[in-house]
Structure 1
């Protein structure tokens, strides 16, 4: 189930974001996670930041936990958005991330015409999530990973929503 973020989610977000394996597969999560980073993230998301919308992957119905990952859409120009997500290691390779991405794309809550996704090339499981959810590969790119302290090669994907 995808649901809105709550302040009560901070503990589990911090727990998983502190995991190097999770942080290193994102561009923005630092490792080690500094004090106050989770609070600042949740406060920004619950405020009227505008460009990024965040949902919690809640798997409590499957007895896996009320927060096992986050999924985001960041608004871009011309009816486009970029999807981002991370999942807790406890649910890696379970299909949960694919299910969450598919559900979000079916709902298309921002009314996007196109959604882009990017994954690090050393994370083929995340690439499968996108392709299994209807995204097509469109090319290579690079992005800085804060946790790695390095520029990392990426694969870029697009999904046409119309």
Structure 2
């Protein structure tokens, strides 16, 4: 019985983490949108894309809270995988975080410099910008959360296999 509550607590933690991370992203996005008005052309597409990424995080958490565990865990895993690698080369770059980022990486802009960053929710997306970028980062929190999600999925699969299933799982 105790194991059932531990599993529920893990799923609820993941759900709220995803929802809060996505909600903070939406709040940052609205603030950015208001501060850059009017938004035209390619910028409007970029703002829409940013909203979709943060909505993905919120949707994953919401599915978990609605007891649609399998779909919620799958979407959560996809969301976290998107957050593992951040990169920038030439004028192109991408870094997505919906929650917490603790990253290790290398910046090759001038020399090979190792970087260690901490950040909260953000989405950086550069297309053909004039930024002189040459870096790669790996989000350690996202890697751990993918592992965490896989362990939850394995636990659910094992419980189904031995016949310990109820509608709350």
Task: Indicate the structure (1 or 2) with the bigger Cα radius of gyration.
Answer: 2
Query: Which has the larger strand fraction?
Result: 1
TM-score by length of 1: 0.29
